[in-house]
Amino acid sequence: MDAATTRFDFSGRTVVVTGGSRGIGRAICEAFATSNARVQTCGRRALEAPFSDDRIRFECIDVRDPDATGAWLERCAAESGGIDVLVNNAGGAPSVPSADASANLTRKILELNLTAPLILSAQVHRHMMGRPAGGVIVNISSLSALRPTPGSVAYGAAKSGLLNATKSLAVEWGPAIRVNCIVAGLVVTELTEGHYGNDAQKRRIAGAIPAGRFATTADIAHACLFLAAADSSYVSGAALEVTGGGEWPPTIPRPREGAASED
């Protein structure tokens, strides 16, 4: 158990996480469970590796099916009388040249990364209203929402739309429900093997990040804990950038390491 998870206590609270079977979603589930929350999560496929913490419950659910997600949230709420936190984490997209992307692929990417979080948020609304500490929704967006995303245009557009939806829902549903999002930077997971290239390419990419490294799944999970905690009760409609500082601007030369600065 690390300092970030022991800092927050979610005892007696129910947390729902979409796409929690692996990668970032799994880390989010484990972080909340370690912080004493009851965690309900889902994935489109069966678990490849079971969770070691019995506070995490998993169901096979396709988040693009609103009937399935609505019924699932009903079951989650029935077990504890309501839902305190929803993390809209499920998402992703293949890299495909825009001229070659089929209409069906574009529709599926938008459904997974934008439509599903919007519908889940609307469905969870009534399960959060009246909760003692109010409800919290955390949307997982991406650095792709803030910059051009050639080869993944629909994904970038969807994640950008999620930023706007976050701010709009925060205004519409406050103060009962806080809505925030995380702008995730370049994250290394078991799903990104080979995505960033060979070791030399990875070093070059990491060198362009002010933090000097890729994000870990724990970095994103800890940000979720912060946004969902009572300590953040005045944070709503925010986009928390967990990007390691962004990227060095390509039009500005890098200073040579060890070079003397001018006063």
Active site residue 155: yes
CA atoms within 13 A on the CB side of 259: 8
> Do residues 27 and 19 make contact, with C-beta atoms less than 8 angstroms apart?
no
Residues forming beta bridges with residue 93, ordered by sequence position: none
The three-class DSSP label of residue 57 is strand
Main-chain dihedrals φ then ψ at residue 242, nearest 5 degrees? -105, 75
Main-chain dihedrals φ then ψ at residue 60, nearest 5 degrees? -80, 110
Give the E-state strand segments of 32-162 in sequence order. 38-43, 56-60, 85-88, 135-142
120 closest CA partner among 50, 70, 188, 57: 70
Distance CA 62, CA 68 (A): 7
Catalytic residue among 10, 32, 51, 155: 155
Tokens coding 37: 């929350």
Type of residue numbered 21: S
Instruction: List, by residue number, the catalytic residues.
Output: 155
